[in-house]
Amino acid sequence: MTTAKGFFSDLSVAGIAAYAAAFGTAWCAYDLMGGREWTCVLTLSAVAHCLGLALLCVQVQSQGNAAGISVRSLILNAIALVLRLSSTLFFHGYLPSDASGDIMYQIVDLCSLFLIMYLLYTVLHVHRHTYNEMDDDMSIGPLVFICIFMGFFLHGDMDDSVVADSFWLAGLFVSVLVVLPQYWLIVKSEGQVQTLTAHYIAATAVDRFLSGFFMWHSRAWITCKPYFGEFEHTVCAILLAHLLHLVLLSDFGYFYLKKIVARESSASSTVNLTCFI
């Protein structure tokens, strides 16, 4: 009970509204659009991702500053979404088979991309004086290049298009990197993390869990042209990427919840994770 209170006690009305909107959208995806099919969990993962970004927007607007926001993390997030949308907007290979995959999944991803653009504008222009640019200095260019290369090398053939299949997988790899600049900024800020930033990371964990669940259950239908015998390298790459992402997120979650319990009912809007990674 203490953990739940600590995790939700700092939410503003706007934050509660964001959660309510996300749960309402998730219910529509599951019940009205998805027909309560298990495949709609992929759409639910996109909703969780969008929720996390919405909470970052609430944080920036409510506090009137860009403290704790990593622009490089947002850029990676945008790149991952653009790469994924280059497949899901025009092909059907990596979409849920229920009705939510026809349009709702893509709309939620487009909303997430819009929120990222809004955050980038707000952080870099409106509240640039509060953005900790000196600490947000993790190099991401080489990592993106490696992800794109690995996407082309390990791509599947679900879209029957080398470019679309490669970009989708590259987007998945880039999405794993999104948390790294945020962690880097947290560490260089001596472990200080805004409460809603932690909510954003928690929503990302839900996103990755649901997406990984979908990919695990769909692994028999994910195909590629094997390089060695009948070894399906694309399936392994997809599942390992999700597992790595969850490991990174769970590491943060463990230390965050531990600090929340220690903090108990403190009214501070930040949590110190000095011992975190």
Asked whether residue 72 is domain-assigned, the answer is: yes
**What mean pLDDT comes out for the span 48-65?**
92
Contact 125, 134 (CB under 8 A): no
pTM equals: 0.87
Asked whether residue 71 is domain-assigned, the answer is: yes
Asked whether residue 119 is domain-assigned, the answer is: yes
Two structure tokens written together for 51: 């929720």
**What mean pLDDT comes out for the span 112-118?**
97
φ and ψ of 193, to 5 deg: -140, 130
Domain membership of residue 184 as a residue range: 13-263
φ and ψ of 272, to 5 deg: -90, 120
Asked whether residue 274 is domain-assigned, the answer is: no
Q: 14-28, 199-213, 227-241, 257-271 — which is least confidently predicted?
A: 257-271
Q: What pLDDT score was predicted for residue 196?
A: 82
DSSP letter at 191 equals T
Asked whether residue 276 is domain-assigned, the answer is: no
pLDDT band at 3 (very low <50, low <70, confident <90, very high): very low
Sign of CA pseudo-dihedral 224, 228, 229, 230 = negative
Choice between 7 and 56, residue whose per-residue pLDDT is larger: 56
pLDDT over 90 (residue 28): yes
Q: What pLDDT score was predicted for residue 187?
A: 78
**What mean pLDDT comes out for the span 63-80?**
92
Residue 68: closest CA among 58, 79, 59: 59
Residues above pLDDT 70, as percent of the chain? 85
**What mean pLDDT comes out for the span 104-133?**
93
Q: What pLDDT score was predicted for residue 142?
A: 94
Q: What pLDDT score was predicted for residue 262?
A: 52
pLDDT tens by residue, 175-186: 999 989 988 888
Burial of 91 (0-12, 13-18, 19+ CB in 10 A): middle
pLDDT band at 201 (very low <50, low <70, confident <90, very high): confident
Q: 81-95, 148-162, 214-228, 249-263 — which is least confidently predicted?
A: 249-263
Asked whether residue 4 is domain-assigned, the answer is: no
Q: What pLDDT score was predicted for residue 89?
A: 95
pLDDT tens by residue, 124-149: 998 888 888 888 889 999 999 999 99
Q: What pLDDT score was predicted for residue 135?
A: 85
pLDDT over 90 (residue 83): yes
Q: What pLDDT score was predicted for residue 173?
A: 97
Q: Which residues does residue 270 pair with via DSSP β-bridges, in sequence order? A: 194
Asked whether residue 6 is domain-assigned, the answer is: no
pLDDT band at 10 (very low <50, low <70, confident <90, very high): low
Q: What pLDDT score was predicted for residue 20?
A: 94
pLDDT band at 276 (very low <50, low <70, confident <90, very high): very low
Asked whether residue 153 is domain-assigned, the answer is: yes
Q: What pLDDT score was predicted for residue 238?
A: 97
- Structural domain count of the chain: 1
**What mean pLDDT comes out for the span 24-39?**
89
pLDDT band at 5 (very low <50, low <70, confident <90, very high): very low
Q: Residue 226: what residue type? A: P
| CA 144 – CA 158 distance, rounded (Å) | 23
Mean pLDDT for the chain overall:
86
Contact 262, 193 (CB under 8 A): no
Q: What pLDDT score was predicted for residue 4?
A: 45
